[in-house]
Structure 1
Amino acid sequence: MKKDLPAALAACLLLLAGVLVNLPTDRPDPGPVRSASTPASPWASADRDLVDGSTGAPERIEIESLGIDAPVEPVGTTPENAQEVPAALDETGWWRDGSVPGEDGNAVIVGHTASSDDGVFDRLVDIGSGDEILVTGEDGTAAFTVTRTDVVPVPDFATVAPDVYRSDGASGLVLMTCGDWNGEEFETTVIVFAERA
Structure 2
Amino acid sequence: MRPAAASAVLGLALAVGAPTAWVLTQPEAAAGIPLEQPLPATPSVTTRDAAPSAIPSAPAPVRISVPSQGVDARVDAVGIAADGQMELPEDVSRVGWYRLGPAPGAEGSAVLAGHVDDREQRPGALFPLDDAAVGDEITVPDAAGTATRWRVVSRQLITEQVLPLERIFARDGAPRLTVITCGGPFLPEFRSYRDNVVVVAEPVR
TM bucket by the smaller chain? 0.7 to 0.9
TM-score (norm 2): 0.73
**Identical aligned residues as a percent:** 29
Question: What residue number does 1:129 align with?
Answer: 134
Inter-partner Cα distance in structure 2 for 1:192 and 1:166: 15
Question: What residue number does 2:149 align with?
Answer: 143
RCO higher in 1 or 2 (8 Å CA, sep ≥ 6)? Answer: 2
**Corresponding residue to 1:177 among 165, 175, 181:** 181
2:203 maps to 1:196: yes
Question: What residue number does 1:101 align with?
Answer: 104
The structure-2 alpha-carbon separation of the partners of 1:79 and 1:115, relative to structure 1 and needing over 3 Å to count, comes to closer
Inter-partner Cα distance in structure 2 for 1:62 and 1:55: 19
Inter-partner Cα distance in structure 2 for 1:106 and 1:153: 20
> What stretches of structure 1 of length at least 5 have no aligned partner?
1-5, 32-53
Question: What residue number does 1:34 align with?
Answer: none
Residue 190 of structure 1, CA deviation? 0.6
Greater helix content: 1
Residue 77 of structure 1, CA deviation? 1.0
| 1:69 aligned counterpart, secondary structure | strand
Q: RMSD between aligned alpha carbons?
A: 2.2
Inter-partner Cα distance in structure 1 for 2:110 and 2:126: 17
After TM superposition, the structure 1 = structure 2 runs for residues 57-76 of structure 1, keeping only pairs within 5 Å, are 57-76=60-79
Amino acid at match of 1:144: W
Number of equivalences: 164
Inter-partner Cα distance in structure 2 for 1:127 and 1:59: 21
| 2:127 aligned counterpart, secondary structure | coil
Per-residue displacement from partner, 1:58-82 (whole Å, max 9, x unpaired)? 0011000111111000111124432
TM-score (norm 1): 0.75
Contact residue 9 and residue 114 of structure 1 kept, 8 A: no
Inter-partner Cα distance in structure 2 for 1:76 and 1:7: 27
